[in-house]
């Protein structure tokens, strides 16, 4: 049984980050044709999501909402947050060996930091682009991506279409600015600790001081 862990939604200013872990027979994952979720269509991801869940011995999903990300970022970096949640997922998988997609530029440091938070001795194979190399990490990336996409669909119904949600996306930037101008606050599900969100809040404070 092979185990893998990956995330979805690390960079967006809107929506949760999802970290997923799976344990499943590698040969079965290969037969399914799992790949890095970013290289699959939405329809294909959804289909594989259901097939992976059928053959997996265990699937673990951790959801980190924007407000929790903001709270944690008051004390730690995004990499450190991922270390803690990856460790939490691995502890729940209860495995002896796991492949992970490294968030740190130093893949081995990422593995060492995760190990510090584990309840048992686990061999961690940490590599960059592991979701392209190992079927178990590809499968985890698919689970994480579909879980996030489903939540993003609900958010869009609630606040409107905001584009990709990434700070560099002009549609997302325009959506945030227009929402802020209309309502005087950032939309729900926004990560206030992201630079472009902070910039909008600073603009409001400056206007308030000028009015005063």
CB 172 within 8 A of CB 163: yes
| Relative orientation angle of helices 135-159 and 42-55, to the nearest 10 degrees | 120
117 in the same domain as 150: yes
**105 and 185 fall within a common domain:** no
Pairing of strands 97-101, 2-8: parallel
141 with 176, same domain: the answer is no
- Split into its structural domains, the chain has a count of 2
Question: According to the model, what pLDDT value does residue 204 have?
Answer: 61
pTM of the predicted model, to two decimals? 0.94
pLDDT of residue 1: 86
Together in a domain, 171 and 94? no
Q: Which of 123, 140, 157 is the last residue of a domain?
A: 157
Q: DSSP label at 212?
A: -
In a domain, 212, yes or no: no
Q: Say how many residues make up the chain.
A: 212
Cα-Cα-Cα-Cα torsion 73, 77, 78, 81, nearest 10 degrees, comes to -80
Q: Are 63 and 162 in a shared domain?
A: no
Q: Edge-to-edge strand order for the sheet containing 58-64?
A: 58-64, 17-24, 2-8, 97-101, 123-127
Give 7-43 pLDDT, tens digit per residue: 999 999 999 999 999 999 999 999 999 998 989 999 9
The answer to whether 128 touches 149, Cβ cutoff 8 Å, is no
Q: Are residues 91 and 177 in the same domain?
A: no
Q: What is the CATH number of the domain that holds 188?
A: 1.10.10.460
Nearest residue to 196 via CA among 210, 71, 82, 175: 175
User: Are 92 and 142 within one domain?
Assistant: yes
Tens of pLDDT along the chain (212 residues)?
899 999 999 999 999 999 999 999 999 999 999 998 989 999 999 999 999 999 999 999 999 999 999 999 999 999 999 999 999 999 999 899 999 999 999 999 999 999 999 999 999 999 999 999 999 999 999 999 999 999 999 999 999 999 999 999 999 999 999 999 999 999 999 999 999 999 998 876 665 544 54
Which residue range(s) make up the domain with 40? 2-157
Cα angle: 53, vertex 55, 58; to 5 degrees: 65
């Amino acid at each position: 049984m092979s185990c893998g862990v990956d995330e979805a939604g690390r960079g967006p200013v809107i929506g949760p980050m999802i970290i997923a872990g799976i344990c499943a027979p590698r040969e079965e994952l290969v037969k399914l044709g799992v790949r890095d979720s970013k290289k699959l269509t939405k329809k294909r991801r959804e289909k594989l999501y259901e097939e992976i869940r059928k053959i997996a011995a265990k699937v673990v999903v951790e959801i980190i909402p924007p407000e929790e990300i903001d709270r944690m970022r008051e004390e730690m970096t995004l990499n450190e947050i991922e270390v803690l949640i990856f460790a939490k997922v691995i502890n729940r998988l209860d495995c002896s060996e796991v492949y992970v997609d490294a968030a740190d530029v130093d893949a081995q440091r990422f593995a060492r930091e995760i190990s510090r938070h584990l309840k048992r001795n686990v061999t961690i194979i940490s590599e960059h682009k592991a979701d392209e190399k190992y079927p178990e990490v590809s499968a985890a990336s698919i689970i994480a991506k579909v879980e996030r996409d489903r939540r993003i669909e609900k958010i869009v119904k609630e606040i409107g279409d905001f584009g990709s949600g990434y700070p560099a996306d002009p549609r997302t930037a325009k959506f945030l600015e227009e929402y802020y101008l209309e309502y005087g606050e950032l939309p729900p599900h926004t990560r206030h600790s992201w630079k472009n969100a902070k910039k909008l809040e600073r603009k409001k404070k400056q206007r308030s001081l000028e009015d005063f």
